[in-house]
Chains A and B, each alone.
Chain A
């Protein structure tokens, strides 16, 4: 069908299984807005981290034992005796944190530039499903080393489901496979921790299918008007993404080699003890904002509903934001509230790490209220009252000082220039 390949073997395969055509279509020719900034690096970066996680994870699994009497020791053995075991484990543990940093930046990028708006609603949804699957994966992974934080994190989080009226307790017993977090729990968490990243991989694939159907958004938030507004993905963005990966690796490996326990909790180097809860239990940093929301409500069921609500509300973002203009660049009012929202998330994260007492409780409640206020009141309202700045004619226009070539003009596409 394609006939575009010179190499005979490639052509032979492609005529029977068009993988090379697909690759060329989506990673070489894919027409990309030519004004993408570095904020657009974080998508490919996230995919790259996923590959690192799967690789390091599979090799860890070759030496890990999912049994309560051996799990902690098997991880210590990985650290001390297995060749480069320390490297595998630190790559994996810090990779988890990096994954969330990258994905959170990727999401805030989407919020600033209105990337969730039509026609990209499903793209946004798939992204959110990826986030939820990542959270489940990371949560279960953290249980595997079977330290004190592993055990008590698992206990507190699974107990969230006991808040469900009537069937809550049955669900929790079912999740545990017993009457407390114990060996059956560790076993199934390992099985699921192995499985979910591959589900994630499939979700990422769908995310990309959706992306290539609706095409990338860009910092101006307007559609390309023709070929003069786009450049082929390869070599322009392959090289830019690679450069971003280089910078990312420097940050990531700096943690792995010089501060490998920076994101960790010392208590997790104490073997799990079901009889003693550590004085101060905190989840991993990437869950802190949600944990703060959970604790802001003095009622068990209420707290759980608010916590899940804080994620569910993100699914409604395409409809809560009533503005017709996508990019925050042309939305003077939204822009300010966007940054307020970022600060609010950071405050929630800070509060989540603090004990629930005194002023922390009040600040946590205000920050939680503001989180929902932003989505449910501010976003619909701002879109209605805001006076947006005029949008440029085309992606090329601002660069060429207004001389952008409108769609359908006679000029040759500029991409080969």
Chain B
């Protein structure tokens, strides 16, 4: 009806189409933007973000011992490594590693290994913190969930986990205290 008329007039059709497309586009973009607050409300809230640093006194940890502390609801492994462990970690060829990284780049002081104790496969806590725990084929940590083996630097060596145990941001406040986060 009206279309026939605008057809005859020529220009009308494209102008009306333009209005239609423009309105649809503005409406779509507007709706998408309005969704953002809802989506973002599910991201970590300010109080969750605020809780994100932990201080640890290293003095009581003897050589060859490990402790687990909590940071952001996750276990953080702190290990006072022995000479042999450090040597073992440093004597590996990069090419032997699924996720190549030098031991030197994973520690601030060679004897202190600090890393997040969450398996990079699907998030279990690997075993190896207690003396009686199985430590896997590379004498570091072993994740029993699906069988990932980590070495004395916390690097993945065997199993389904794709990457090394991550090193959190931390700093030495004194010689024997660190602040994680």
Enumerate chain B residues within 8 angstroms of A274, measured Cβ to Cβ. 70, 73-75
**Taking the complex as formed, is B4 at the interface, i.e. its CB lies under 8 A from any CB of chain A?**
no
Select one of A177, A179, A277 contacting B144, CB under 8 A.
Answer: A277
A155 in contact with B123 given A277-B145, A281-B145 (CB within 8 Å): yes
Q: C-beta contact mask, A140-177 vs B, less than 8 Å → 1, else 0?
A: 00000000000010011011101000000000011111
Distance (whole angstroms) from the CB of B168 to the closest CB of chain A = 10
Contact A280–B144 (Cβ < 8 Å): yes
Nearest residue, chain A, Cβ from B41: A177
Shortest CB–CB separation between residue B83 and chain A, in angstroms?
Answer: 29
Q: Evaluate whether A173 and B160 lie within 8 angstroms (CB atoms) in the complex, with A156-B124, A274-B73 already known.
A: no
Instruction: Flag whether A33 is at the interface (Cβ < 8 A).
Output: no
What are 28 A-B residue pairs whose CB atoms fall within 8 Å in the complex?
A: A155-B122, A155-B123, A159-B121, A159-B123, A162-B122, A173-B44, A174-B42, A175-B42, A177-B42, A177-B44, A177-B45, A177-B48, A179-B52, A180-B73, A182-B73, A184-B45, A184-B48, A275-B70, A275-B75, A277-B145, A279-B144, A280-B144, A281-B145, A295-B146, A295-B160, A298-B160, A300-B161, A356-B146
User: Which residues of B are found within 8 Å of A174, using beta-carbon distances?
Assistant: 39, 42-43
Report how far A299 CA is from B159 CA in the complex, Å: 8
Q: B interface vs A, CB < 8 Å?
A: 39, 42-45, 48, 52, 68, 70, 72-75, 118, 121-125, 144-147, 159-162
Nearest-CB residue, chain B, relative to A275: B75
Residues A177 and B43 in contact, CB atoms below 8 Å apart: yes
The answer to whether B44 touches A178, judged by C-beta atoms less than 8 angstroms apart, is yes
Contacts of A295 in B (CB 8 A): 146, 160
CA distance A275 to B71 in the complex (A): 11
CA–CA, A5 and B131, complex, Å: 80
Total A-B pairs, Cβ < 8 A: 81
- Interface of A with B (CB < 8 Å)? 152, 155-156, 158-160, 162, 173-182, 184, 188, 274-277, 279-281, 295, 298-301, 303, 356-357
Question: How near does chain B come to A45, taking the closest CB pair, in angstroms?
Answer: 34
Known contacts A156-B123, A188-B42, A275-B125; A178 and B72 CB within 8 A of each other:
yes
5 further A-B contacts with Cβ under 8 Å, apart from A158-B123, A177-B43, A184-B48, are A159-B121, A175-B42, A178-B44, A277-B145, A299-B160
User: Which residue on chain B has the smallest CB distance to residue A156?
Assistant: B122
- Top 8 nearest A-B pairs by Cβ distance? A179-B72, A180-B73, A159-B123, A159-B122, A277-B124, A156-B122, A155-B123, A277-B125
Chain B CB within 10 A, most for which of A275, A295, A357: A275
Expressed in whole angstroms, the minimum distance between the Cβ of A290 and any Cβ of chain B is 14
Query: How many whole Å from A53's CB to the nearest CB in chain B?
Result: 26
- Give the residue name and chain of the A residue nearest to B52 (CB): A179
Residues of B with C-beta under 8 A to A280: 144
Chain A proximity of B28: nearest CB distance (Å): 22
Could you say which of B73, B124, B147 contacts A356, with CB atoms under 8 Å apart?
Answer: B147
Task: Report the minimal beta-carbon distance from A341 to chain B, rounded to whole angstroms.
Answer: 26
For A163, the closest partner residue in chain B by CB is B162
The residue of chain B having its C-beta at the shortest distance from the C-beta of A158 within the complex is B123
Which B residues are in CB contact (< 8 Å) with A277? 124-125, 144-145
A301 to B44, CA, bound (A): 25
How far is it, in angstroms, between the C-alpha of A280 and the C-alpha of B144 when the chains are bound? Answer: 7
Least Cβ–Cβ distance between B137 and chain A, in angstroms: 13
> B110: shortest Cβ distance to chain A, in Å?
26
A94–B146 alpha-carbon span in the complex (Å):
28
Q: B residues within 8 A CB of A158?
A: 123
Within the complex, which residue of B74, B75, B124, B161 is in contact with A152, where a contact is CB–CB below 8 Å?
B124
- Name the residue of chain B whose CB is nearest to the CB of A281: B145
Tell me the complex Cα distance, A79–B31, Å.
45
* A178–B48 touching, CB < 8 Å: yes
A180/B74 contact (C-beta < 8 A), A155-B123, A160-B122, A277-B125 known: yes
Q: Residue among B45, B73, B122, B125 with the most chain A CB within 10 A?
A: B122
Measured between beta carbons, the chain B residues less than 8 angstroms from A303 are: 160
Complex contact A276–B160 (CB within 8 A): no
Q: Contact partner of B124 among A155, A182, A298, CB < 8 A?
A: A155
B145 touches A156 (CB 8 A): yes
Q: Which residues of B contact A356 (CB under 8 A)?
A: 146-147
Question: Considering the chains assembled together, what is the distance between the CA atoms of A306 and B136 in angstroms?
Answer: 27
Complex CA gap A272/B42 in Å reads: 22
User: B20 CB to closest chain A CB, in angstroms?
Assistant: 30
Shortest B175–chain A CB gap in Å is 27
Per the bound structure, the CA–CA distance linking A232 and B77 in Å amounts to: 68
Task: Determine how close the nearest CB of chain B comes to the CB of A358; give it in whole angstroms.
Answer: 11
Whole-angstrom distance between the alpha carbons of A298 and B149 in the complex? 13
CA distance A299 to B161 in the complex (A): 8
> B126: nearest residue on chain A (CB-CB)?
A277
Q: How far is the CB of A81 from chain B (nearest CB, A)?
A: 30
Chain A nearest CB, measured from B2 CB (Å): 35
Contacts of A160 in B (CB 8 A): 122
Asked whether, in the complex, the Cβ of A173 is within 8 Å of the Cβ of B43, the reply is: yes
Contacts of B124 in A (CB 8 A): 152, 155-156, 277, 281
List chain A residues, Cβ under 8 A from B42.
174-175, 177, 188
Enumerate chain A residues within 8 angstroms of B146, measured Cβ to Cβ: 295, 356
Knowing A178-B72, A179-B44, A184-B48 touch, does A300 contact B160 (C-beta < 8 A)?
yes
* Bound Cα distance A160, B162 (Å): 13
- Which chain A residue has the least Cβ–Cβ distance from B162? A300
Docked pose: A156 CA to B44 CA in angstroms: 19
